[in-house]
Structure 1
Amino acid sequence: MPDKRVYVSPLREKAAAQTRALILAEAEQLFAERGYGRVTVADIAAAAGVASKTVFASVGSKADILDRIVDKAVSLSGYQEAVARILALPTPEAVLQALARGTRAGNETQFKAQEAILKALPVHENGPALWERATAAYRGALHDVAGHLRQVGAPPHRYSVQETADLLWLWFGPTGWRTLVVENGWSWDRAEKVLCQTARAALC
């Protein structure tokens, strides 16, 4: 009996990937602007110029789309490479300067995704789990940085490693950046400078 193989067209696969990317980009934009609860699959389909059934077939439900946005934001934040560079620095001052620059870059480049996630939390069916999923790696990275600060000379009598990690989250976590840039209208440059100065004054 002849072997029947399913032929996969590279062009068709490329077109499908482009459609998925377009749907996710339009959904991210809509979630960030209107809020997750005020956006329907039909809205996403219209923005992407496809049918609603194409959205479901390509990326799934609205909750599935948000999950994909979270995964993409974590992946594209570049936190692993940034933390690796930070953990090689020899002084607390250099560590905090690099941390300010790195977290600014991650939050600025992934701003729409962060807005989409934050605006979804009040109405999402499992907001706490969504936030944990979106921020677990971020918080873990800051804990690693806190431990490194102790190793390179940050005064041990001021704060424990966990307290230092908590303070880094306060200053350099997504809500810290958002408070200054979105809610208070600071520039990213000004926020980076002041957050770095604040952390150095407290930890060095």
Structure 2
Amino acid sequence: MPTPKRAYASPLREQAAVRTREAILHAATELFARRGYGLVTVADIAAAAGVSPKTVFASVGSKREIMDRIVDAGVAGSRYEAAMRRVSQLSDPREVLAALAAGTRAGNETQSTVHEAVRLALPVYEDGAALWERATRDYRAALGDAARHLHALTPRPLYDAGETADLLWLWFGPDAWRSLVAEGGWSWSRAETVIGATAVATLYAGG
């Protein structure tokens, strides 16, 4: 009997497929952030990526699936896990808050286009609440972990752990960075300094 042929996966073909997906996601992110999710079509994304609409569907999927992939890439690209490992190793509250300011600044700065794409999609996305939860779940959970870490240190914050977590989200969440940098015209460096100082002053009464 003839030996069955095994499927052959060409490394070059796989690399080309990865580059195509990356080009599509990059084009979609830029368009969603500039025009808004509701005003962008798959044909627009295909044209910007230099491929056909058929290739977009075959490589990434529907517009909704594209947004899901953008969110997943944004979460991974924020490198929040590395930032939280750094935070968990610190024992001085001031250093913890400085590390949070630096880490969330880096995540928001590098992923600002993704954040804007998500923000503009919320009013028209089929389930905007689920999209927002998907985009921010790990981010908010990480700040909750940071709040619990602060309460394990001396001195403790003036507020309970739940309130501390909410305040960290207020200061270090995406809305704060966007408000200062995108809307207020602050530099990322200035925003990092002031947000960190505000957190110290409020949680430790100027400590």
Could you list the per-position Cα deviations for residues 155-203 of structure 1 after superposition, in whole angstroms to 9, with x for gaps in the alignment? 35x2110100000000000011001111111111111111011100001
Matches within 5 A, 1:1-204: 1=1, 2-156=3-157, 158-204=158-204
Could you list the per-position Cα deviations for residues 86-144 of structure 1 after superposition, in whole angstroms to 9, with x for gaps in the alignment? 01111110000110000000000011111111111111000000110111101110011
Q: Which moved more, 1:147-156 or 1:175-184?
A: 147-156
Q: CA deviation at 1:6?
A: 1.2
CA contact (8 A) 1:154 1:203 kept: no
**Unmatched runs of 5 consecutive residues or more in structure 1:** none
Q: Percent identity at matched positions?
A: 62
Secondary structure of residue in 2 paired with 1:65:
helix
Alpha-carbon distance in structure 2 between the residues aligned to 1:95 and 1:129? 30
Given the two structures, how large is their TM-score scaled by the length of structure 1? 0.97
Alpha-carbon distance in structure 1 between the residues aligned to 2:108 and 2:50? 29
Could you list the per-position Cα deviations for residues 13-49 of structure 1 after superposition, in whole angstroms to 9, with x for gaps in the alignment? 1111111100000100111111111110000000011
Runs of 4+ in 1 over 3 A off after TM superposition: none
Counterpart code for 1:83: M
Secondary structure of residue in 1 paired with 2:29:
helix
Secondary structure of residue in 2 paired with 1:11:
helix
Alpha-carbon distance in structure 2 between the residues aligned to 1:180 and 1:76? 22
Alpha-carbon distance in structure 1 between the residues aligned to 2:42 and 2:155? 50
**Unmatched runs of 5 consecutive residues or more in structure 2:** none
Matched residue pairs, number?
A: 203
Q: CA deviation at 1:154?
A: 3.9
Given the two structures, how large is their TM-score scaled by the length of structure 2? 0.96
